[in-house]
Amino acid sequence: MVEEALSGHKRALEDAESGRRGESSISSKRAKIEGLPQTSIRRIMRINSAVTSVGAEATAATARATELFIAYLVEESAKKAAEDGGRTTLKIEDINSVIENNKKLEFLKDAFGPPREL
């Protein structure tokens, strides 16, 4: 199960990366991600009590994977928004819809909670 989830995430990251190279129709206006703060990532990684030190390469790899994951989630949410009347503004409902309809993102259901009724 874990290996299946990891391979799914790897494919998602590869899809996001390919979108970054301009292979996606939505990515044409995408702002370039400048990079996540490595000190914050290192601090988050060290929250786990079993981790006493985090190498620079591990931090950089985690930052890059996080950037790609965010790009993937935003891209899929933007597609959903575009389908719902051609919106260019993302709403939490778009993100929730992507999470609900993508088994690979099932682990995020608790983080975002159930969709809110307006």
Taking only the tens place, the pLDDT of each residue in 75-114 is 999 999 999 889 999 999 999 999 999 999 989 988 876 6
Would you state the structure tokens that stand for residue 23, as one six-digit string?
A: 């292979």
Any domain includes 47: no
What residues make up the domain containing 89? Answer: 2-33+68-112
Mean pLDDT over residues 52-79, rounded?
A: 94
The tally of domains found in the chain comes to 1
Would you state the structure tokens that stand for residue 62, as one six-digit string?
A: 């985690």
Burial of 103 (0-12, 13-18, 19+ CB in 10 A): exposed
Would you state the structure tokens that stand for residue 100, as one six-digit string?
A: 């609900």
Any domain includes 54: no
Taking only the tens place, the pLDDT of each residue in 27-43 is 444 455 568 899 999 99
Query: What is residue 16's predicted lDDT score, i.e. its pLDDT?
Result: 46
